[in-house]
Structure 1
Amino acid sequence: MPQTRIAVVTGANRGLGAEIARQLIARGLHVLAAARNPGGAQRVNDVLGAGAEPLQLDVTSPASVTAAVEHAVGRHGRLDVLVNNAGVTDGAGRASELPMDTLTATLEVNLLGAWRLANAVIPHMRSVGYGRIVNVSSNLGSLSLMTSSSEPAYRVSKAALNAMTRVLAADLTGTGILVNAASPGWVRTDMGGPGAPRTPEQGADTPVWLATLPDDATTTGGLFYDRQPLPW
């Protein structure tokens, strides 16, 4: 019988992250539901049941990332899937008036946190010749679609996350580790707000699809929306 895949989902204490975790569990994966607040992760565990377990993880802290990955590998012996979902936004504002500390804080979570965690799990994925890394991006990070100046720090961080997806995918060619980015669209979550047109279930579909690509899949280095390529 195949070994159960072990997945880490960041920002899994609510909204899109919790829904991604739920859908992965429904597909037979065991999910470490990661959140900065241990209580938040535990609440997700209480809702998701035996297919999940809480994982305290602050993606902005190198020490926290190292400790979380060591704990996960020590407990399960492997890490197969990483969904970098944790993210923050700067909201409405003008790029020409953006405080640099706001930009720094946004990049720290959306880009550096995702990259930091990816680099921590990749050696364990290499050891088994299998891995799926999914970076939750956004239509707002597409240079081709970027015609508004709203949420400037968020847009720039997601465009950078897309670039990170490309360079990591190229670096890992032939290792069995596939790295892709997914836009969930505008989703009704705490971040997206009640007026968003898409449900968390709809938003989670593409990240979950990429996280569960079959063993013989070769799709890597792409940006997808509703399972279709999205312009960079």
Structure 2
Amino acid sequence: MSYSKVGVVTGANKGIGLAIVRQLALQYPKSPLNNGPFLIYLTARDKGRGEAAIKDLEQDAQLKKARALKADGGLAEIKFHELDITDSSSIKSLADHLKQAHSDGIDFVVNNAGIAMDGFDANIVKTTLDCNYYKTLEACHAFLPLLKSTGRIVNVASMSGHLNKYSDDIRNRFLASKTEDDVSSIMKDFATAVEAGKEKDAGFPSAAYAVSKAGLIGGTRALARTAKEKGSGVLINCCCPGYVNTDMSKGNGTKTPDEGAQTPVLLAIQDIQGKTGTFWQSEKEIEW
């Protein structure tokens, strides 16, 4: 079957990622981008969990009532594809599949996959930066050539990535960053300072997740700038879903996953008036 729209959501077998898939299916019929059948790739590291998530969605009462899915006469179809965002070969495998299966290109990628680890030390910082910053941007570069000229990338960052936790010097470096290398140099300086036990002296918070998400926001801005300079029409933005009640927040969040999904879904399939390189929260653009 041919699809008019094809989207990918990473880290989507539970929590915010699963809610994003669900809301995409629900909201697509009224989206200004609706032009026919819609395929959503739900990706996850674990095949069993990913396929179980799809089965749950196929029995979802709200999706059935809305007749959102193809099986119920709707527009959306959900397929599983394995993706471990921390594994370069896994990123390449998904990119190769998308290129082969959708020669006309895909329409969007929502990079939701990420980690939040307990504790704080040099190893936790290295692991967190690798997943949430370096590998997420690696995925962006792998998927960018596959996107249609009207395509979109949405990187799920966090309000913890706001710049109010840094020294003026580090904050100004973030704001002045123009390239991914500029942002990566800040990430490297953070990792080096943590190894020396002097991250606070260097102007950073003692928080691996927060710094990784600040890096992702900066990296997203830089990627969008470079793409625009090359004449690409792809819109590349990032967002904070809010403090969502998921495993990552240990059940302490104040928003439901469906509420957290609203801003990523808006950036993927609603009219955002050509905005690119921006940071969003609560369905509107905000200051970093």
State if a TM-score over 0.5 links the two structures.
yes
Cα deviation for residue 150 of structure 1 reads 7.9
Preserved CA contact (<8 Å) 1:129 1:175: yes
State the SS of the aligned residue for 1:130. strand
Cα deviation for residue 61 of structure 1 reads 1.2
State the SS of the aligned residue for 1:108. helix
Cα deviation 1:141-163 (Å, max 9, x = unaligned): 1113679x987000000000000
How many Å separate the matches in 2 of 1:58 and 1:170?
A: 27
Aligned to 2:269: 212
Cα deviation 1:94-129 (Å, max 9, x = unaligned): xxxx3211111111111122111110111112xx31
State the SS of the aligned residue for 2:116. coil
Cα deviation for residue 203 of structure 1 reads 0.5
How many Å separate the matches in 1 of 2:80 and 2:114?
A: 18
Aligned to 1:80: 107
Q: Describe the shift of the 1:59–1:138 C-alpha distance in structure 2 as closer, same or farther (beyond 3 A).
A: same
Q: Describe the shift of the 1:47–1:73 C-alpha distance in structure 2 as closer, same or farther (beyond 3 A).
A: farther
Aligned to 1:175: 232
Question: 2:287 matched to 1:231?
Answer: yes
How many Å separate the matches in 2 of 1:113 and 1:17?
A: 17
Q: Describe the shift of the 1:145–1:99 C-alpha distance in structure 2 as closer, same or farther (beyond 3 A).
A: closer
Aligned to 2:161: 141
Aligned to 1:202: 259
How many Å separate the matches in 2 of 1:52 and 1:159?
A: 31
State the SS of the aligned residue for 2:81. strand
Preserved CA contact (<8 Å) 1:45 1:53: yes
How many Å separate the matches in 2 of 1:169 and 1:229?
A: 15
Preserved CA contact (<8 Å) 1:139 1:145: no
Instruction: Let me know the Cα RMSD of the aligned residues.
Output: 2.2
Quick one: which amino acid aligns to residue 208 of structure 2?
A
Cα deviation for residue 180 of structure 1 reads 0.5
Q: Which of 160, 183, 186 pairs up with 2:215?
A: 160
How many Å separate the matches in 1 of 2:3 and 2:46?
A: 30
Question: 2:144 matched to 1:129?
Answer: no
Question: 2:49 matched to 1:44?
Answer: no
Question: 2:18 matched to 1:4?
Answer: no
Preserved CA contact (<8 Å) 1:10 1:84: yes
Cα deviation for residue 229 of structure 1 reads 2.2
State the SS of the aligned residue for 2:125. helix
Q: Which of 35, 43, 49 pairs up with 1:34?
A: 43
Aligned to 1:221: 277
| TM-score, length of structure 2 as denominator length | 0.72
Identity value in percent: 34
Preserved CA contact (<8 Å) 1:144 1:231: no
Aligned to 1:24: 24
Preserved CA contact (<8 Å) 1:223 1:230: yes
Cα deviation 1:41-89 (Å, max 9, x = unaligned): 1112212335211110111111111111111232233221111101111
Higher CA-based Rg:
2
Cα deviation for residue 138 of structure 1 reads 0.6
State the SS of the aligned residue for 2:154. strand
State the SS of the aligned residue for 1:80. strand
State the SS of the aligned residue for 1:13. coil
Preserved CA contact (<8 Å) 2:83 2:90: yes
Structure 1: which 5+ runs fail to align?
none
Structure 1 segment 181-200 matched on structure 2, within 5 A? 181-200=238-257
May I ask how many residue pairs the two structures share in their alignment? 223
Quick one: which amino acid aligns to residue 20 of structure 1?
I
Preserved CA contact (<8 Å) 2:3 2:39: no
